[in-house]
Structures are given as structure tokens and as C-alpha cells.
Amino acid sequence: MKRAIVSVAALLSLSLSAPAFAAEETQPSAGTIQPSTGAGANFEQRKADHLKKLDDRINSLQGEKTCVQSAKNSDELRACRMKHKSWMKDRRNGMRKRGGPGSPDGSMPPQVK
């Protein structure tokens, strides 16, 4: 009786695990991600948007760096940091309003492994 229960449990676990392995094989790996439909124009637009955001961040960091370099005391240094934090907070709130990553609806972009 004990042997029958063990063999039934083994067969059941094998039969349930096979579809899980098959599902993993059908998903593309990180190195073979396929572009979405309409990738040409969509890609160029996303690239331009991303570059603009990077330029904005670089300009903000350069402004903070200049402010920190010119600071003469702790109060001025703190003011530089608070100014940059305020800029980042405004930027983050703007993304939340647009429904970007980390928005209140909890949506996050898919992670590429």
C-alpha cells in the first residue's frame, strides 16, 4: 500500500512538472528578445525620448555638481542637495501622473534576465 501511494505521488509530480518545463522553453531568452511590431518608428521615438531624459538628468547632475563645488559651508551644501532632491521629486511625480514605472497602479516594466 505504501509503495502504491509513493508511486502515484511520483507519477503525479512528474506529470505536473513536465508542462512547467515546456513553458519555460517557449519563452525567449534574454539574448533572443524579439522586437515588437512596428519596431522601426516606435524604436526611434523611444530612443529619442530616452536620450532626452538622459540629457535632462545629466544637466541636473551637472548643475548640482557646480552648486556643490561653489558651496562654502554646510548650509550651502545642504541647499544644493535639497534643490536637486526637489527636482528629482518633481520628475518622479510627473512619471507617476503619466503612469510610468513605479506609478501608483503598481505597474513595473518587465525585467530582462
Please write down the long-range contacts of 43-52, taking CB distance under 8 Å and 24 or more positions apart.
none
Residue 42 is predicted with a pLDDT of: 92
Residue 58 is predicted with a pLDDT of: 94
Residue 9 is predicted with a pLDDT of: 72
- DSSP letters, 27-64, are SPPGGGPPPPTTHHHHHHHHHHHHHHHHHHHHHHHHHH
Residue ranges of the chain with per-residue pLDDT less than 50: none
Q: Sketch the domain layout of the chain as residue ranges.
A: 49-98
Burial 9-24 (b: 16+ CB within 10 A, else e): eeeeeeeeeeeeeeee
Residue 52 is predicted with a pLDDT of: 93
pTM of this structure: 0.48
